[in-house]
Structure 1
Amino acid sequence: MNRRLLVFCIIYPCLAQAQDSLSTTSPVNSQGRMTDDTLQLNEVTVTGYATNRRLLETAASVGLLTARDLNRRFGTPTLVPSFNTIPGVRADERSPGSYRLSIRGSLIRSPFGVRNVKAYWNELPLTDAGGNTPLNALDVRALGRVEVIKGPSGSLYGAGTGGTVLFGGLAVPAGRSSVEVSALGGSYGLFGNGLTLQTGKNNSAVSLSYNHLQSDGYRENSALVRDNISLVSSFNVSPKRTISILGFYSDLYYQTPGGLNEAQFRANPRQARPGTRTTPGSVEQRAAIYQKLGYLGVSQEYRWSDRIQNTTVIYGSNTDFANPFITNYERRADQGLGGRTITQVRFPNSPLPTTLTIGAEYQRNFTVTRNYGNRRGNTDTLQTDDELRAQQSVIFLQTETTLPARLILTAGLSRNELRYDFTRFSIRPVAPQRRTFDPVWLPRVALLRTFGQNVSAFASISTGYSGPTSLEVLSSTGQFNPTLEPERGTNYEVGFRGSALGSRLRFDVAAYQFQLRQTIVRRSADNGAEFFVNAGRTDQQGLEAQLSYDFVNPVSVSSSLFSLLRLWQNVNLTDYRFRNYQQGATDVSDKRVPGIAPTTLISGFDAELRLGFYAHLTYQFLNPFPLDEANTATALPTRLLQATLGFRRTLGNRWTLDLYASGDNLLNQTYSLGYDLNAFGGRYFNAAAPRNGVAGVRLSVRW
């Protein structure tokens, strides 16, 4: 990274944004006016690292998405644009429904799916033992909060060099019940509806949601149909015990058009991948994903006293997966089981007030995979018949101590284990294989100091570890790879955050250097199948900055026409490069890691009137970045303008009406929202839709 630029941005954080990562939400008031859902920086509580401290006192980089970010800022109900408002986080979808997510890293490991990121829902693990997270099984309309911990967090959450995502459901008002129905429609056959039932009575909180979404898609062979039902509930069975349940079922179908080379992309970006002399195309083979996933988790929180409490969770999942691809037809059945326990002991009256956190997590997955030939979307001759067992465990310990001079010291350590057992039954004699990775200890140390009531600074050193996922050791080439090594790295980070001018001005800046070894990267064969190799070492430097300014005082808005009038700005600067890496006969040392824009700028404007009108404007810019390791191919610049206008008002103190219209890609740019990195034959491009729109309505009643 250019050092002058780095120093400039640290000294002048006015190039950044604090947006709603420093806020949380509340409902519309009894007069039907849009209330300001912004809390001050010194009031926002985050759950990361199990401390439940104010963001100002959290010695880590944390991004927060509120109900406004998830369900009001953008019209189309998808997690992708909301994630992309957080600096250091990048999400895309090569085709509708095919989500990918990276935190401070590249999507170079992810031809599809979410890897190298841990995800939880109220301590329930969503990432399975094989390291895969079914992000596309969640519906954003059932979410109320998302917290993103950026950087290695293995001292408490186990393997993963990128970061951790903590999901939360919709807030349930205490002592009340409500019903909300919604519908939306838009370009390219987009249609959706939803129903949410909530009750917060009788020492319980229950939220039941059903959501449907479908689209014809912009590209040929890119249709989507998704149905999702979710249940989130908690019951106070005694003054000391709370039982919570999370269950969801997702039935997802989406077509996969495949990547295009640059000539095909420029000639007709709407086309699906065409066939060749030796390989049929996506349409001919009816390439698609059929995924049915069920998940059920139960947790118990037990409070022995005001100083000691324990949360223990168990879960089970089942996935039925089918993927007619260009060269084969994969059928996969996956069963997951696991649990997590975490105990906190607080010593608030000791000379140095300390919170001790200790716990463990264990997961198993059993996967049966059969690959067939693909005859125009139908299974043909059996090619492989495999079983893969994944087992992963972590034990962890963390202490957080309040020191003199307004210092807070956090120290954590975890021990991680990973094992795969593979058996191929289609080859005789059957010869089971096992890959056991050496146990790894992951420490983290962080020190934070507050300066008055509104400013803090922190420094941290943490280690990261990410074993190969089940879809990397057994990739679409059909070969089990027992030689793939886990990624290891060390992250150094400093940051400061705070507010000024009566909390109208808020800022959050962090700079980091991550040294990663045995980086896992994707390769693709000429038939489109992918495999993975270790790419030596990478050096990853970055700066993330946020700044927001409220023109209306967030403490008192009663005398203003606006309940919210905010301008915010994000900046993400990166310099990720290979070190000592030979790609065949080519030395790619000092080349940029593919898939990461050196500069990402995200700007926004939010206005909410007390009469109920609201507007959200978002602009994203990514400068070109390399698409292959040799840096011979480059992405197009991304200039994406999105806007939502709406009216939300309560009628008669019980009914709430929300009407909105939203536009995407309003500048009508030709761009690719998701790239196939290191793609064979230069098939990097997956065209996103040009200018398009969506309109919708939400109607709710509460009693």
Structure 2
Amino acid sequence: MLTYSLPALFGLALLPAFLFAQITPPTAATSLDDTLQLNEVVVRGYATNRRLLETPASISLLTRRDLNQRFGTPTLVPALNTLPGVRADERSPGSYRLAIRGSAVRSPFGVRNIKTYWNEIPLTDAGGNTPLNALDVRALGRIEVIKGPSGSLYGAGTGGTILFSGLAVPPGQTSIELSALGGSYGLYGNGVAVQTGKNNSAISISYNHLQSDGYRDQSGLVRDNLSLTGSFTVSEKRTVSILGLYSDLHYQTPGGLTLAQFQANPRAARPATATLPGSVEQQAGIYQKLGFLGVSHEYRWNDRIQNTTVLYGSTTDFANPFITNYERRTDQGIGGRTITQIRLPNGPLPTTFTVGAELIRNFTVDRNFGNRGGTADTIQTDEELTARQSTLFAQAETELPARFRVTAGLSRNDVRYGFTRFPTQAIGALPATLLTRNFSPVWLPRVALARTFGETVSVFASISTGYSAPSSQEVRPSAGGFNNTLNPEQGTSYEVGVRGSAVNNKLRFDVAVYQLQLRQTIVRRSNEAGAEFFVNAGRTDQQGVEAQISFDFLSPTTYASATTTDRSLFSLLRLWHSLTLTNYRFRDYQQGATDLSNNRLPGVAPTTLVTGFDAETKPGLYAHVTFQFLNPFPLNDANTVMAAPTRLLQATLGFRRSLGQHWTVDVYASGDNLLNQTYSLGYDLNAVGNRYYNAAPTRNGVGGIRISTKW
């Protein structure tokens, strides 16, 4: 059992700092394209725009190499799963679920309890939902993951915050890249990306297509994505940026299987029962069209004061033929965020102040019909839902003597819902009535203290308040009705961490230890038909250790500084590990007459270990090998059903070569589940009828090519 006290954890986290505090700083430059090159990487989390080494928070990075080279299949899932404390599931192609520090206990599907932004533009709607499956990994250049409560600057959420960035556009250069891929189970994709950079502008446009028949019955996918990013320097003080996204997605949902069904035929879809039809018969699936347009305006009064203000609008057309009904939903979102920074660098205590506000609103029309073989039938419910979130925030970051830095932040968060159900029959119908659920505004403080040791090691400690109101899909669940008794989650997180490098920057490490004490934890339930609803489950105590460590036998840094007589074949040889240890327990949790206190939270593995090896050669050959291990974890609150251990081996072999000054060719082949395990990449937690299992593909492969030209 993983148990520990905070003083002991603090000592554990500080130990490497004392071991490496006297190491001489490296003299070589550090590549910005490497996830673990901590000495020079600049992060945007908490608006610090500082080196990761100096940032007092648990932040993990994914670069373009991690997102688009290490794994062959163009999906966010495997790359996110290399980060400690992060777990991404794909129960069937396109059906994403993402958890940061165990937040999946609330997410039967989709992404909840996490805030997401694209260059300060909010992607998470006012109802707390994030359409992660509307993004295409091939259009992304970088991801920052802030782990733990970050409400002091980003609003409600106890899981964390994700900051997306598009592809970097080199100045003075135009490029075009064409790509194509194909693989097992009917996988096919293609894409085109055009970028042009001028002295005062940078524009990137990409279109990507992906389709798959799926490993299981009723698990096909078709997705088309179009993205546009642009940045325009209007004057020396003014920059305007735009973000446009359009996603047309359809994926089938095969449904969960019982253990006997999973073992007998893992490729089967959920079969019919004596009372309910099956997934194939009802053509179960998701149809989702999303349009998003955001505009950002940055104004710099001088080198000390600047403001960034963003406005956005979104529209979603959603349809979900399910086993028991057919849901059609349209949603319009609008919102904005403004953030001002004031830097006072010359006083006795140099300080940066950050103040701002965020307001987002969504209006949803939701109708449920009967489902007749994948066709909407007689209307059952006709409802409207409004959601509004407002956040006011302020933060001060002060440099103290003796290489200390303190950060103190505070935000006010207000979440409100309005719900109206309209009559669907002419006789005996109840009149439409507006129901509201307004949660009392809360203040969320955060205090963090960091100390650097030379240029290579730092330690930090933080205390932050977590708050997460129920999402719109929880106050208005698929089981129907409006839940006006569900309460927000609230808690306090304590965290200490150490990060740095040693052995002339070849050895890099990042370790964090935390404890989150959460009240009114929201968990999922299902009725007999499989429709979901949510309840508060008392307190939870969530303790964890997250660690990343890597060693470069040879790195791009040493390669770049090598002499021309260096005859070594490799330009990069790296071994890395990512470790997550958790001890998440219910406290004071009564389910009927059964006391579930001290049970483990479902869906959270006590141990997750990811090990990888990266190699790149000077002639252009590269290879990546990744092994993931998850030990068994409970699938229900009662802890009576456990997941099997997961052992997943993935590998990619490629060859990238420049042809003259203008052309580059990249050819690769990738294998997934090379150990040919029968496993579930995403379980249905607390599933009625014990339908927990969603089989992932057995051994499969994909191959692709990228051709680019620049001038």
Q: For 1:628 and 1:143, how far apart are their aligned partners in 2?
A: 35
Specify the code of the residue in structure 2 equivalent to 1:226.
R
1:599 aligns with: 607
1:130 aligns with: 127
Instruction: Give the 5 Å matches for 1:571-590.
Output: 571-590=579-598
Specify the code of the residue in structure 2 equivalent to 1:416.
N
1:19 aligns with: none
Q: Offset at 1:430?
A: 1.1
Q: For 1:164 and 1:396, how far apart are their aligned partners in 2?
A: 16
Q: For 1:286 and 1:432, how far apart are their aligned partners in 2?
A: 34
Deviations 1:410-454 (A, max 9, x none): 000000000000000025211110111000000000000001110
Deviations 1:305-356 (A, max 9, x none): 0000000000000000000000000000000000000000000001100000
CA change 1:38–1:563 in 2 (3 A) is farther
2:503 aligns with: 501
1:478 aligns with: 480
Q: For 1:94 and 1:445, how far apart are their aligned partners in 2?
A: 38
Preserved contact between residue 38 and residue 554 of structure 1 (Cα < 8 Å): no
Specify the code of the residue in structure 1 equivalent to 2:496.
V
2:675 aligns with: 667
Q: Offset at 1:479?
A: 1.1
Specify the code of the residue in structure 2 equivalent to 1:675.
Y
What SS is found at the alignment partner of 2:441?
strand
Specify the code of the residue in structure 2 equivalent to 1:690.
T
2:526 aligns with: 524
Q: TM-score normalized by structure 1?
A: 0.96
Q: 1:228 aligns with which of 225, 228, 234?
A: 225
What SS is found at the alignment partner of 2:634?
coil
What SS is found at the alignment partner of 1:156?
helix
Specify the code of the residue in structure 2 equivalent to 1:294.
G
Q: For 2:36 and 2:599, how far apart are their aligned partners in 1?
A: 43
1:2 aligns with: 2
Q: Indicate yes or no: 2:678 matched with 1:676.
A: no
What SS is found at the alignment partner of 2:262?
helix
Q: 1:395 aligns with which of 392, 395, 405?
A: 392
Q: For 1:98 and 1:155, how far apart are their aligned partners in 2?
A: 31
Q: For 2:254 and 2:39, how far apart are their aligned partners in 1?
A: 47
Q: Offset at 1:182?
A: 0.1
1:34 aligns with: none
Q: For 2:73 and 2:36, how far apart are their aligned partners in 1?
A: 26
Specify the code of the residue in structure 1 equivalent to 2:464.
S
Preserved contact between residue 550 and residue 576 of structure 2 (Cα < 8 Å): yes
What SS is found at the alignment partner of 1:127?
coil
1:541 aligns with: 543
2:449 aligns with: 447
Q: Offset at 1:693?
A: 0.1
Q: Indicate yes or no: 2:55 matched with 1:47.
A: no
Specify the code of the residue in structure 2 equivalent to 1:576.
Y
CA change 1:369–1:146 in 2 (3 A) is same
Return 300-309 or 550-559, whichever deviates more: 550-559
1:405 aligns with: 402
Q: Offset at 1:200?
A: 0.5
Deviations 1:642-698 (A, max 9, x none): 000000011011000000000000000010000000000100000000000000000
Q: Offset at 1:10?
A: 5.1
Q: Offset at 1:556?
A: 2.4
Q: For 2:496 and 2:4, how far apart are their aligned partners in 1?
A: 17
Deviations 1:146-200 (A, max 9, x none): 0000000000000000000000000111110000000000000000000000001
1:628 aligns with: 636
1:169 aligns with: 166
What is the alpha-carbon root mean square deviation over aligned residues? 1.5
Preserved contact between residue 422 and residue 432 of structure 1 (Cα < 8 Å): yes
1:694 aligns with: 702
Specify the code of the residue in structure 2 equivalent to 1:2.
L
Specify the code of the residue in structure 2 equivalent to 1:517.
R
1:431 aligns with: 433
Preserved contact between residue 511 and residue 547 of structure 2 (Cα < 8 Å): yes
Q: Offset at 1:270?
A: 0.3
Q: For 2:674 and 2:558, how far apart are their aligned partners in 1?
A: 34
Instruction: Give the 5 Å matches for 1:293-442.
Output: 293-426=290-423, 427-442=429-444
Q: Offset at 1:554?
A: 4.5
Return 350-359 or 558-567, whichever deviates more: 558-567
Q: Indicate yes or no: 2:199 matched with 1:205.
A: no
2:25 aligns with: none
Q: For 2:183 and 2:266, how far apart are their aligned partners in 1?
A: 20
* Larger relative contact order, structure 1 or 2 (CA cutoff 8 Å, min sep 6): 1
Q: For 1:467 and 1:181, how far apart are their aligned partners in 2?
A: 43
2:664 aligns with: 656
CA change 1:162–1:39 in 2 (3 A) is closer
Q: 1:555 aligns with which of 557, 563, 570?
A: 557
Q: Offset at 1:108?
A: 1.7
2:90 aligns with: 93
Preserved contact between residue 499 and residue 510 of structure 2 (Cα < 8 Å): yes
Q: For 1:362 and 1:9, how far apart are their aligned partners in 2?
A: 41
Q: Indicate yes or no: 2:570 matched with 1:570.
A: no
What SS is found at the alignment partner of 1:332?
strand
1:637 aligns with: 645
Q: Indicate yes or no: 2:111 matched with 1:114.
A: yes
Q: For 1:237 and 1:144, how far apart are their aligned partners in 2?
A: 24
2:259 aligns with: 262
Q: For 2:3 and 2:696, how far apart are their aligned partners in 1?
A: 35
CA change 1:24–1:435 in 2 (3 A) is farther
Deviations 1:580-637 (A, max 9, x none): 0001111100000000000000000000001100001100000000000000000011
CA change 1:146–1:24 in 2 (3 A) is farther
- Percent identity over paired residues: 73
Q: Indicate yes or no: 2:151 matched with 1:154.
A: yes
CA change 1:164–1:194 in 2 (3 A) is same
Return 619-628 or 427-436, whichever deviates more: 427-436
Q: For 1:375 and 1:240, how far apart are their aligned partners in 2?
A: 59
Preserved contact between residue 14 and residue 497 of structure 2 (Cα < 8 Å): no
Q: Offset at 1:38?
A: 6.9
Q: For 1:590 and 1:385, how far apart are their aligned partners in 2?
A: 41
Q: TM-score normalized by structure 2?
A: 0.95
1:32 aligns with: none
Q: Offset at 1:93?
A: 1.1
Specify the code of the residue in structure 1 equivalent to 2:607.
T
Q: 2:236 aligns with which of 239, 247, 252?
A: 239
Preserved contact between residue 13 and residue 545 of structure 1 (Cα < 8 Å): no
How many residues in Structure 1 have an aligned counterpart in Structure 2? Answer: 686
Q: Indicate yes or no: 2:594 matched with 1:615.
A: no
Preserved contact between residue 14 and residue 498 of structure 2 (Cα < 8 Å): no
Preserved contact between residue 24 and residue 66 of structure 1 (Cα < 8 Å): no
Q: Offset at 1:4?
A: 7.5
Q: For 1:100 and 1:39, how far apart are their aligned partners in 2?
A: 25
Q: 1:61 aligns with which of 58, 63, 78?
A: 58
